[in-house]
Amino acid sequence: MKKLLVVILMFMMVFGSVACQATEDAPVVEEPVAEEPVVEEPVEEPLKVAALLSGPINDMGWNASAYEGLLMLEDSYGCEISYLENVAQSDMEENFRNYALQGYDVIFGHGFQFGDAATKVAAEFPDTDFIIISSDISNGTNLGSANTKNEDQGFIAGALAAMISETGMVAGLGGMDIPPIRSSVVGFAAGAKYINPDIEVKTVLTGSNDDVGKAKETALALIDDGVDVIFANANQAGLGSIEACQDRGVWSIGSNQDQNPSAPETVVQSIIKSTPQLFNYVVGLIVDGTYEAKFHGLGVKEGAIFLSDWHGFDETFPEAVAELDEVIQGLADGSIQYDPSEYDF
């Protein structure tokens, strides 16, 4: 009996030892941790922006500045851009409509003349923003406009012309008789008279932004009358005026973009209207969610009108450089005031 008890106790000790060892050697099974679902951020589609242009993007003027504005939007906001050149008035509505149907978010009409077509098409596409450059049109919902103070552009050009003229006779030459061009030529007369009340100012509109030959003929006639400085604001046609000044050895003042490269010995300065800044300003408001479909005006104070590089002419006319800076500052701070209507023609 004692032997049997001993055997049983030994068996129990061996079994317990094995059980404990098995327990110690058993792998620890960890409870699986539930993974949180991955929430994918929605991919934000780039803003699609298009522009209708009245002329070619290589006109070194008005239409070229619009193209520069589109490139700025592409760089600043990653916009998907598109444009149409040489859009005829008869095609404006169709082109606006086609871009809206293609899902473009913002469509610019680059020029006052696009306003009527945009007004009609905007009513058909309430979710698309239509912006007219160089106009003050708006509908309060999805049609707005942006413009520079064109008269200030002309004022600066006129002031410079009066400063560098030797004959006491200067001219402002415009293309189409539309508000942005007429107002710049009117501003030219005001600026020239501000510097020299006795100066003779000739102002003329050729009626075309495309006819380079007509602009050149008009400029040559002005030079024959004694004009020795001409400011031209006529888009592509303005190149004809610059060519005339180059041929006759008189000074030219460019507009909208730096036009000195077209005639380096002739174009003293260019008074730039920053159309790219208009594009950038409006689309920036749209991106920020603060845009209102109204008129947005920008001037010297906002940096939308400024001088190009002097290209060495600052050494030729050092006094004019300093005096012109004072004029620009006066326009910016409001100390220079003038009534453009007094100089209309």
Look at residue 182 and tell me if it is in a domain.
yes
Is 28 part of any domain?
no
Query: How buried is 35 (Cβ within 10 angstroms: 0-12 exposed, 13-18 middle, 19+ buried)?
Result: exposed
pLDDT tens figures, 319-339: 999 999 999 999 999 999 999
DSSP state of 175: S
Half-sphere exposure of 232 (CA within 13 A, CB side): 40
Instruction: With a cut of 70, say whether residue 13 has pLDDT above it.
Output: no
Looking at the fold, whether 57 and 178 belong to one and the same domain comes out as no
Per-residue pLDDT at 34: 55
Q: Are 256 and 239 in contact (CB under 8 A)?
A: no
Q: Which pLDDT value is given to residue 193?
A: 98
pLDDT band at residue 8 under the 50/70/90 scheme: very low
Q: pLDDT class for 295, splitting at 50, 70, 90? A: very high
CA distance 77 to 75: 6
- Domains held by the chain: number: 2
One domain for residues 91 and 118: yes
Query: 288: Cβ–Cβ under 8 A, 6 or more apart, which residues?
Result: none
- Do residues 290 and 310 lie in contact, with contact meaning Cβ atoms separated by under 8 Å? no
Q: Please tell me the predicted confidence (pLDDT) of residue 228.
A: 98
pLDDT at 31: 56
Q: Are residues 227 and 281 in the same domain?
A: no
Q: Does residue 60 sit within a domain?
A: yes
Buried b / exposed e across 140-178, counting CB within 10 Å, b at 16+?
eebbbbbbbbbbbbbbbbbbbbbbbbeeebbbbbbbbeb
* Per-residue model confidence as pLDDT tens digits over 36-54: 655 556 557 999 999 999 9
**Span 214-225, average pLDDT:** 98
Whether the predicted pLDDT of 110 surpasses 50: yes
> What percent of the chain stands above pLDDT 90?
81
What's the chain's average pLDDT?
90
Residues 6 or more apart whose CB falls under 8 angstroms from that of 317 comprise 163, 164, 268
For residue 38, the model assigns a pLDDT of 57
> Within a domain: residue 157?
yes
In this structure, the answer to whether residues 134 and 187 fall within a common structural domain is no
154 shares a domain with 144: no
Looking at the domain assignment, is residue 34 inside a domain? no
73 and 206 together in one domain: no
Residues 240 and 209 in one domain: yes
Pick the more confident residue, 91 or 62: 91
- Let me know how long the chain is: 345
Helices (H), the chain: 2-25, 62-77, 92-101, 115-122, 150-164, 179-195, 212-224, 238-248, 275-288, 313-316, 318-333
| Axis crossing angle, helix 150-164 with helix 179-195, rounded to the nearest 10 | 40
Range of the domain at 264: 150-273+312-343
Same domain, 332 and 241: yes
Average pLDDT of span 157-180: 96
What SS3 class is residue 33?
coil
Res 35: pLDDT: 59
pLDDT in tens, 186-205: 999 999 999 999 999 999 99
For range 236-250, the mean pLDDT: 97
* pLDDT of 11 strictly over 50: no
- Whose tokens are 């939308």? That residue is 304
Q: Is the pLDDT at 18 greater than 50, yes or no? A: no
d(CA 153, CA 317): 20
Closest listed residue to residue 71, CA positions, set 274, 258, 280: 280
* Distance separating alpha carbons of residues 108 and 95, to the nearest angstrom: 11
Identify whether 224 is part of a domain. yes
Task: Provide the CA 276 distance to its chain's centre, in angstroms.
Answer: 2
pLDDT at 60 over 90: no
CA-nearest of 195, 204, 189, 187 to 148 is: 187
Please indicate, yes or no, whether residues 57 and 176 belong to a single structural domain of this protein: no
Q: Are residues 164 and 258 in the same domain?
A: yes
Can you tell me the mean pLDDT for 248-266?
96
Whether the Cβ atoms of residue 104 and residue 97 lie closer than 8 Å to each other:
no
Mean pLDDT of 76-85: 98
Q: What pLDDT is recorded for position 166?
A: 98
| pLDDT range class, residue 9, cuts 50, 70, 90 | very low
Say yes or no: 226 and 253 in one domain. Answer: yes
Residue 185 lies in a domain: yes
Residues sharing a CB contact under 8 Å with residue 309, sequence separation 6 or more, in sequence order: 258, 260
Q: Is 253 contained in some domain? A: yes
User: What CATH number has the domain bearing residue 183?
Assistant: 3.40.50.2300
Burial category of 27 from C-beta neighbours within 10 Å (exposed 0-12, middle 13-18, buried 19 and up):
exposed
For residues 252 and 266, is the Cβ–Cβ distance under 8 A? yes
Q: Residue 15 pLDDT > 50, yes or no?
A: no
Verify that 61 and 138 share a domain, yes or no. yes
State the Cα–Cα distance between residues 168 and 95, nearest whole angstrom.
47
